[in-house]
Chain A
């Protein structure tokens, strides 16, 4: 069980959080301007790197805030 660094509450056990997947996938400014393929990419397609990546968490059983954090998917270490 990870020890997730909540920026508001400090390091807390993973069971207090919900995972939010890849960070930085913004809702498109103009959905109608996107092709179907581009929309599908926004909806469903995510990176799956080995190594550091940026991901989202929400502290559901704590402050209920969303935040982004970098985690090494190989070692599970949080890098800030």
Chain B
């Protein structure tokens, strides 16, 4: 094949704008408007890669998204790259770097630097495809709907006019008129845009794709779909060869022949299946390019003609992928020997028009010819004569593979697809799909329509993950929530952890401290001096209304209607299945108002839970629940010296144990701001949780640090908080529990009322909830006090035979820490029948060796709670 640029013609290129790009390291030029494929042909480059498995030389087959061969890696001047694109769909631009591929690309290993976005569009009518029939449909739609409510997209660059959204390919049709589409380079600064379109009516005007005919050595460079040959001449001013053979089954090649003739291409033979003629084989030159075509006519001996271009038309397949995705049915139309839209699917009205509906212009009479059987030597050096009859060039799948699949008993076209991988390549069966069905039908002795085609699924063209993510990447993937005190944490070297969307300080290392050292220091401060923690992230829900008490009695396992105004109570919440859902301290602010707190990560779920029960089961209750998490900054002041510190920021507040007892709260002026002080403790130490309006959170924090400085006030993070609470056996919902844990399993049966109904109570009466071997919360003390168990470690009995699997499991470690207060390591665990095993030993078999542990009660520090009012008398 000797392709070259013609002196004239090419309505898509701008000959006044020369474009320089690189192909496989060499510098080439083309014109603005060229695709990589047309520019390569214009430069006489017809061998563009090797095939994926057989390493056969391959050329450009098509001029569109059906291209199975010409796959390239592309790097744009901006640095954005794509590992595998079809050379027929990518426009060239200055500085573009293109590399040929052997059938497949390599995933990029670096972050996609592309800048992608997304947009929404709602319309009365969506027209997909701006060919003649699409434009006519759009014109008609504009008569009935406002012009701006008719949205027309087209996969090609801007040609049709300003009312068409160019470069935009529909990817998929979903329920209720939802269509996704991808637009390449919508603006100079955006690499791509994902369109979310919602249409009341959809017109599919996606045209048709020419299909090949399968014959021996049908994959050589220089063998091209006939229409593509004409496209290169008319659109790009590129002559794809000098001596052409046309192999056709239908009338559409008449126009191709005229175009070739006008461009000076010599047509050395027209092989017309309708006249009983066929191409049975091709010959190649040293590089594998086509050099000759072997032709038979019914009853005559094969003849060979010299040619550098073989243009093939097996007919045209309407592009029905979108129609079928929308659950429209297909029927095989014998007139054009192709699948056409039949009954439309459910949902919004969808209509196919033009070639997509099977109206192929100029097709005339068609005689189906799918595959030309091998003649004489076409098997070459192998005994299988079908080994060079390529069906799917992108997959190197041949008739031989197809026969093997059918011979193995795979009769469903879906199974054939999966076994042979035909149709799973980048072109998604655009060239191979119907041909495969027809060959399978012939072998199976069935009608093509009965065999059908594999299910069409989105996306219709490959689309990168970065494009799908659009702007929802990196910092924009999910909101990041920070507390008003966050800037101080950052300035003071906090190491953060993510808790839901929140950034929480995990610990505050000093100088060269390791995390372990920092956490031990922070714990010591909380147990022997004073420490502060930013607890703002705690979920807070304002529950108001005359029936608030009744409501909370139904939501919590324990009773809140009897709680006195000014008091706080720890509560447990279950779901209807009886499993623990959340916990937290809820305080009564007034007769008809409670301040509920929830686990940080569960706040939204708890509010949803409350709303669901209020709205769907108890609409008679006069209660409203509102999130106030972000309205209050919460700071825990913890430790034997906590009272001294709080006294300095809230001088008007009587902090004596008699006046302000454990589990009560008070209004107070704190650092000059009206707020609330709660005497609750998540560490067992004397502790106050100060709440001020969020705006004042940072100022209060700084005030506490300042007044506490003489007392060595120490900020601490979530890790120390976890150690302190675990020493006291306080569970964390979601860490000690896993959705199969009841309050009784946690040893909190005392918080489960027997006097009222609440969500989940009936489930606690199921026999399963009373099983003696349920996993129960216990403490673990490794025999070696320095051994730190990994969280999640499984526990087995002392006499377990570790060689015989599966080894019966006793339970698992839920939390594990080094404790400054205990001077050793410890853990919490869920252990089968754990409370009956106290004092027993068990084993944790680890990769690094087996650790022996003693099973203990879950409260390992200050079990009598003597420290909650401050340092107890010695």
Known: A2-B176, A27-B617. 13 other contacts (CB 8 A): A1-B176, A2-B175, A3-B198, A13-B178, A20-B612, A20-B616, A26-B617, A27-B576, A43-B577, A56-B616, A74-B346, A76-B175, A77-B346
- Known contacts A27-B617, A56-B616; A34/B762 CB under 8 A: yes
Complex CA–CA separation, A74 to B175 (angstroms) = 11
Check B617–A3 contact: CB distance below 8 A.
no
Whether A39 contacts B766 in the complex (CB less than 8 A), given A1-B174, A56-B616, comes out as yes
The answer to whether B347 touches A77 (Cβ under 8 A) is: yes
Residues in A with CB closer than 8 Å to B612 are 20, 58, 66
A76 to B346, CA, bound (A): 8
Q: How many residues of A contact B (CB 8 A)?
A: 29
Interface residues of A in 25-59 (CB under 8 A from B): 26-28, 31-32, 34, 36, 39-40, 42-44, 56, 58
Name B345's closest neighbour in chain A (CB-CB): A75
Docked-complex contact A75 and B346, CB < 8 angstroms:
yes
Q: Which residue of B lies closest to A74 (CB)?
A: B346
Interface residues in A55-77 (C-beta closer than 8 Å to B): 56, 58, 60, 64-66, 72, 74-77
User: Are B763 and A43 neighbours in the complex by a CB distance under 8 Å?
Assistant: yes
Q: Which of B724-783 contact A (CB under 8 A)?
A: 757, 761-763, 765-767
User: Which residues of chain A are near B761, meaning CB under 8 Å?
Assistant: 31
Given contacts A3-B176, A76-B175, contact A36 B346 (CB under 8 A): no
Contact check, A60 vs B762: say whether CB atoms are below 8 A apart: no
Of the candidates A18, A26, A32, A65, the one whose C-beta lies within 8 Å of that of B608 is A18
The smallest C-beta distance from B706 to any residue of chain A, in angstroms, reads 42
Smallest beta-carbon distance A67→chain B, Å: 9
Residues in B neighbouring A77, C-beta threshold 8 A: 346-347
Map CB proximity to B onto A1-22 as digits: 1 under 8 Å, 0 otherwise: 1110000000001000010100
B177 at the interface (CB under 8 A from A): yes
Q: Which residues of B contact A1 (CB under 8 A)?
A: 174-176, 178
9 closest A-B pairs by beta carbon, nearest first, are: A75-B346, A31-B762, A3-B176, A66-B615, A76-B175, A27-B617, A1-B178, A2-B175, A66-B616
How many residue pairs, one in A and one in B, have C-beta atoms under 8 Å apart? 61
User: What is the CB-to-nearest-CB distance from B179 to chain A, in angstroms, rounded to a whole number?
Assistant: 10
Q: How far is the CB of A36 from chain B (nearest CB, A)?
A: 5
CA distance A40 to B757 in the complex (A): 17
Do A75 and B347 have beta carbons less than 8 Å apart?
A: yes
**A3 contacts B763, C-beta separation under 8 Å:** no
| Interface contact A76-B766, CB-CB below 8 Å | no
- Tell me, rounded to whole Å, the shortest Cβ–Cβ distance linking A5 to chain B: 10
Determine the distance from Cα of A1 to Cα of B178 in the docked complex, in whole angstroms: 7
Give Cα A34 to B763, complex, Å.
11
Assembled-state Cα–Cα distance A40/B762 (Å): 10
* Nearest neighbor of A27 in chain B, beta-carbon distance: B617
Given contacts A36-B766, A39-B762, contact A58 B608 (CB under 8 A): yes
Least CB distance from A2 to B in Å reads: 5
Q: Can you spell out 14 A-B residue pairs with CB atoms less than 8 angstroms apart?
A: A1-B175, A2-B175, A3-B176, A13-B178, A20-B612, A27-B617, A28-B762, A31-B761, A36-B765, A40-B766, A44-B577, A58-B611, A64-B611, A75-B347
Q: Which residues of chain B are within 8 angstroms of A42 by Cβ–Cβ distance?
A: 576
Which residue of chain A has its CB nearest to the CB of B176? A3
Taken together as a complex, chains A and B put the C-alpha atoms of A4 and B176 apart, in Å, by 9
Interface residues of B in 331-346 (CB under 8 A from A): 345-346
Determine if A43 and B576 form an interchain contact, defined as CB atoms under 8 angstroms apart: yes
Interface on A for B, CB 8 Å cutoff?
A: 1-3, 13, 18, 20, 26-28, 31-32, 34, 36, 39-40, 42-44, 56, 58, 60, 64-66, 72, 74-77
Bound state CA distance, A14 and B177, in angstroms? 13
Provide the bound-state CA to CA distance between A32 and B345, in Å: 48
Give every chain A residue within 8 A of B576 (Cβ-Cβ): 27, 42-43
The reply to whether A36 and B767 form a contact with Cβ atoms under 8 Å apart is yes
User: A75 CA to B347 CA in the complex, in Å?
Assistant: 7
Q: Shortest CB–CB separation between residue B379 and chain A, in angstroms?
A: 50
Give the Cβ gap from B771 to chain A, nearest Cβ, in Å: 13
Interface residues of B in 590-620 (CB under 8 A from A): 608, 611-612, 615-617
Q: How far is the CA of A66 from the CA of B765 in the complex (A)?
A: 30
Residues of B within 8 A of A74 (CB): 346
**Residues of A contacting B577 in the complex (Cβ-Cβ under 8 angstroms):** 43-44
Q: How far is the CA of A20 from the CA of B345 in the complex (A)?
A: 26
Give the distance in Å from the alpha carbon of A37 to the alpha carbon of B757 in the complex: 19
The docked-state distance in angstroms from the alpha carbon of A62 to that of B36 is 47
Please state if B176 and A76 are interface contacts (CB–CB under 8 Å). Answer: yes
Closest A residue to B767 by CB, please name it: A36
Give Cα A58–Cα B180 distance, bound, in whole angstroms.
25
What chain B residues lie within 8 Å of A18 (beta carbons)?
A: 608
Output the nearest chain A residue to B762 by Cβ-Cβ distance.
A31
Q: How far is the CB of A22 from chain B (nearest CB, A)?
A: 12
In the assembled complex, the Cα of A39 lies from the Cα of B176 at a distance in Å of: 37
Bound-state Cα–Cα, A28 to B757, Å: 11
Known A-B contacts A60-B608, A64-B611; A31 and B757 likewise in contact (beta carbons under 8 Å): yes
Contacts A3-B175, A43-B763, A58-B608; is A13 near B198 (CB within 8 Å)? yes
Interface digits, B173-198 against A, CB 8 Å rule (1 contact, 0 not)?
01111100000000000000000001
Q: How far, in whole Å, are A31 and B616 apart by their CA atoms in the complex?
A: 17
State A28–B759 Cα separation when bound (angstroms).
11
* Residue in A26, A36, A65 with the greatest tally of chain B CB atoms within 10 Å: A36
Cα distance A16–B30 when bound, in Å? 48
For residue B346, which residue of chain A has the nearest CB? A75
Instruction: Give the residues in chain B near A2, CB-CB below 8 Å.
Output: 175-176
B346–A65 CB distance below 8 A? no
Residues of A near B757 (CB, < 8 A) are 31
**Bound Cα distance from A31 to B757, whole angstroms:** 9
Task: Give the complex CA separation of A1 and B345 in angstroms.
Answer: 16
- List of A residues within 8 angstroms of B347 by Cβ: 75-77
Contact, CB under 8 Å: A3 / B178 = yes
Q: A76-B176, A77-B347 are in contact. Are A39 and B763 (CB under 8 A)?
A: yes
Chain A min CB distance to B603 (Å):
14
Best-buried of A32, A40, A42, A43 by chain B (most CB within 10 Å): A43
